[in-house]
Homo-oligomer: A and B are copies of this chain.
Amino acid sequence: MALKQLLLANLFVCLAVPAFADEGMWTPDNFPFDKVNQKYSTHLDQQWLDHVQASAVRLAGGCSASVVSSNGLVLTNHHCVEGCVRNLSSPDSDYAKDGFFTDSMSDEKQCPGMQAEILEKITDVTGKLREATSGKTGEAYGDARNAAIAAIEKDACAGRERTHRCQVISFYRGGSYRLYDYRKYTDVRLAFAVEYDAAFFGGDPDNFNFPRYDLDFSFLRLYDNGAPAKTPNHLKWNPSAPKAGDPVIVAGNPGGTDRLLTAAQLESLRDFVQPLSLVLGSELRGRWTRFGEESPEHARLAERELFGLENGLKAQRGEHEALLQAGVIESRRAADAELKRHVDADPKLRARVGDPWKQMDDAQRARAALYKPFYLLEARAGYGSALYRYARTLVRAAEEKAKPNGERLREYTDARLPLVEKGLLDRIPVATDSEELKLEFWLTKLREELTADAPETALYLGSDSPQQLAAALTRSKLADAKLRRSLWDGGLAAIKGSDDPMIRFVLRTDGASRAIRSKYETQVDDPTDDAGERIASARVAVYGEQGYPDANFSLRFSYGTIRGWTEGDRNIAPFTTFAGLYRRATGADPFRLAPRWVEDRGRIDPDTVFDMSSDNDIIGGNSGSPLLNAKGEVIGAIFDGNIHSLGGTYFFDSQMNRAVSVSTAAMTEALNKVYGQQRLVAELMSP
């Protein structure tokens, strides 16, 4: 029970008064240099951090990375380029299976839809937002905030749209707003990717586990005006493995944590958000698994879908179990109540903050009523179908562009349209069989969850069965990028004149999708955000300093050490080696070695440090983040957490939560001995 008590103690600290243990995902403008330097005898300073920041890369699709050569070479995970690898593959040329290797830069291939971003500047825009939303609540609050954000983003990047992205990001659940100004690279090319069997050895069974034996790395390259980007201030590559206890810093973009939510918000996650997602995701997993057993080509298509799906399911189950742990929600409730008592005891504060907890509770009740239709008709509509996404993007962009910038759906404001356009027009292969599975699943679940008698079911399905409608919709021609371009350029008139079945379907149904989205935003999101902002401001007023804000896919720094942990009565060492990989291989999927690894066994140093665990505070989105030593040199790439890290969404348990990375030592050995990429090693090692 030591774990549980520790965990509850931690929790209470974290919630009532923000924690300052090794926990923390620190923003670049608030890193606790003194504390870290004192604890680890390091010499980190603003210059150190600025240097790292200038090479820390965010991949807009949801990953992190770092620049590691002067010619724009970027280190990230294999699983961060998984989609690119598969988009560049075909039944005849399977880079996922065989790996993707280049002899020179001219062999590098552009990743469709990929955008890399490097943070250049942060500006506090909280005042502007407060001014815009002053005195407003609920829907009016949401509308005013969105309009202000759209205007700020547009103005800030005016004239620099080709090379920059300006994004307003909310911190501390609305406690403050910052304008993040990114240098963006829209031409990102794949330079090197290992085989799936090497990158994801152990598959789903080993995922979120440690000891681990995954070579989960790859290289991209940033291009500018068709040539490799010049990046003289890149991070230095250090191919030596660290020692246990060495201090390590992670610079990356954790996607999201929920450490500042109220108990009511956590309960709604536990009671209906997570269960729905687990049940639907599990069923979809079953469909893809069987689909993948039907033929080699279906196996190839299914592998792509299953990687993300199974990863997400395992994470969600861990998160659900974390919220079910005795005391987790109860202690959050106690923290809520304590903060509320402080507010109620201070008339001035009370007048300013009001009772956001009541509003939050009401919003969660609205969420319970609206979540299923919102999920099925809007948030997960199409269930990943590319054809549906194309059609909806075309229809909505045409409709939204006709409106003033501040009144559009968030994702279609002027500052955000370039990425939408790139996602729409870049060419990717669209597999009809996969599309049909996704659409059929979506429509079946829509009918099941909303019931056969719901008016939405009648609107979406008509008298078709989900199978019939899915088959009809996949006859869409939107896989053709030229057609998408012509409809994008042609605007609403061209779209309304189209007889493409998916376009017709979206024109028929999108009103209902928009209606539930609007209702959900008005009744759930807006009051939640408004209440969250007031709770955040109460927290600052009562407890003073904020600590670190919840993760939101912006650049964060997390410090810690190379460290294992104790699992029951077993000490888990923080390193694995190549020798362990060979011991674990059975020959049967997913414990099967890629052929090169069988052939080249004799050439590889079996004692090379392979994967490592450290106690940095990270979460999904950190994938691909550089693991840095105190000198700011790259010694690894984060690719996972251990099984205990899954509760990290809600609390950080420093005894058990571990980040998992692949070492530069292993990458270098593999590049030299297995992949014959001395050229890349030379590039990495040059100053």
Chain A positions within 8 Å of B, measured between CB atoms, are 202, 204-206, 209, 271-272, 275, 278-280, 282-291, 293-294, 313, 317, 320, 324, 437, 447-448, 451-453, 463-465, 467-468, 586-589, 591
A643 to chain B: closest residue by CB? B451
The CA-CA distance from A283 to B314 in the complex, in Å, is 13
A452-B279 in contact (CB<8A): no
Separation in Å of the A527 CB from the closest CB of chain B? 20
A292 to chain B: closest residue by CB? B290
Residues of B within 8 A of A320 (CB): 275
B272-A317 in contact (CB<8A): no
The CA-CA distance from A286 to B286 in the complex, in Å, is 4
The CA-CA distance from A588 to B284 in the complex, in Å, is 22
A463-B275 in contact (CB<8A): no
- Of the listed residues A272, A275, A278, the one surrounded by the most CB atoms of chain B closer than 10 A to its CB is A275
Separation in Å of the A386 CB from the closest CB of chain B? 20
The CA-CA distance from A206 to B283 in the complex, in Å, is 19
Residues of B within 8 A of A447 (CB): 205
Write 14 A-B pairs (CB below 8 A) sorted by A numbering. Answer: A205-B448, A205-B452, A209-B452, A271-B324, A275-B278, A278-B282, A282-B282, A283-B283, A285-B286, A286-B287, A287-B289, A290-B437, A465-B586, A467-B589
Task: Report the 6 A-B pairs with minimum CB-CB distance, sorted nearest first.
Answer: A286-B286, A465-B588, A290-B290, A282-B282, A286-B287, A283-B286
Separation in Å of the A347 CB from the closest CB of chain B? 32
A284 to chain B: closest residue by CB? B286
Residues of B within 8 A of A279 (CB): 278-279, 282, 313, 317
**Stoichiometry, copies per complex:** 2
A209 is contacted by which of B278, B289, B451 (Cβ under 8 Å)?
Answer: B451
Residues of B within 8 A of A280 (CB): 282
Separation in Å of the A680 CB from the closest CB of chain B? 32
Separation in Å of the A403 CB from the closest CB of chain B? 35
The CA-CA distance from A286 to B437 in the complex, in Å, is 11
Separation in Å of the A292 CB from the closest CB of chain B? 9
A289 to chain B: closest residue by CB? B287
A588-B468 in contact (CB<8A): yes
Interface of chain A, main secondary structure: helix
Residues of B within 8 A of A272 (CB): 324
A285 to chain B: closest residue by CB? B283
A275 is contacted by which of B205, B275, B291 (Cβ under 8 Å)?
Answer: B275
The CA-CA distance from A290 to B298 in the complex, in Å, is 12
Separation in Å of the A598 CB from the closest CB of chain B? 16
Residues of B within 8 A of A286 (CB): 282-290
Separation in Å of the A173 CB from the closest CB of chain B? 25
Separation in Å of the A265 CB from the closest CB of chain B? 15
Residues of B within 8 A of A275 (CB): 275, 278, 320
Indicate whether A588 sits within 8 Å of B324 (C-beta atoms), given known contacts A282-B280, A452-B205. Answer: no
A452 is contacted by which of B202, B278, B293, B448 (Cβ under 8 Å)?
Answer: B202
A209 to chain B: closest residue by CB? B451
The CA-CA distance from A19 to B282 in the complex, in Å, is 39
A313 to chain B: closest residue by CB? B279
Residues of B within 8 A of A467 (CB): 293, 589
Residues of B within 8 A of A452 (CB): 202, 205-206, 209, 591
Separation in Å of the A512 CB from the closest CB of chain B? 19
Residues of B within 8 A of A587 (CB): 463
Residues of B within 8 A of A465 (CB): 586, 588-589
18 more A-B contacts (CB under 8 A) besides A271-B324, A283-B285, A468-B588?
A205-B447, A205-B451, A209-B453, A272-B324, A275-B275, A279-B279, A280-B282, A282-B283, A285-B286, A286-B289, A286-B290, A287-B287, A290-B291, A294-B294, A463-B586, A463-B587, A464-B588, A467-B589
Residues of B within 8 A of A313 (CB): 279
Residues of B within 8 A of A204 (CB): 448
The CA-CA distance from A285 to B441 in the complex, in Å, is 12
The CA-CA distance from A124 to B394 in the complex, in Å, is 74
The CA-CA distance from A294 to B587 in the complex, in Å, is 29
Separation in Å of the A369 CB from the closest CB of chain B? 12
A203 to chain B: closest residue by CB? B452
Separation in Å of the A465 CB from the closest CB of chain B? 4
A320 to chain B: closest residue by CB? B275
The CA-CA distance from A250 to B588 in the complex, in Å, is 55
Residues of B within 8 A of A202 (CB): 452
Separation in Å of the A205 CB from the closest CB of chain B? 4
Residues of B within 8 A of A206 (CB): 452
A290 is contacted by which of B205, B209, B287, B591 (Cβ under 8 Å)?
Answer: B287
Separation in Å of the A296 CB from the closest CB of chain B? 14
A463-B588 in contact (CB<8A): yes
Separation in Å of the A325 CB from the closest CB of chain B? 9
Separation in Å of the A103 CB from the closest CB of chain B? 35
Residues of B within 8 A of A294 (CB): 294
The CA-CA distance from A464 to B587 in the complex, in Å, is 8
Separation in Å of the A286 CB from the closest CB of chain B? 2
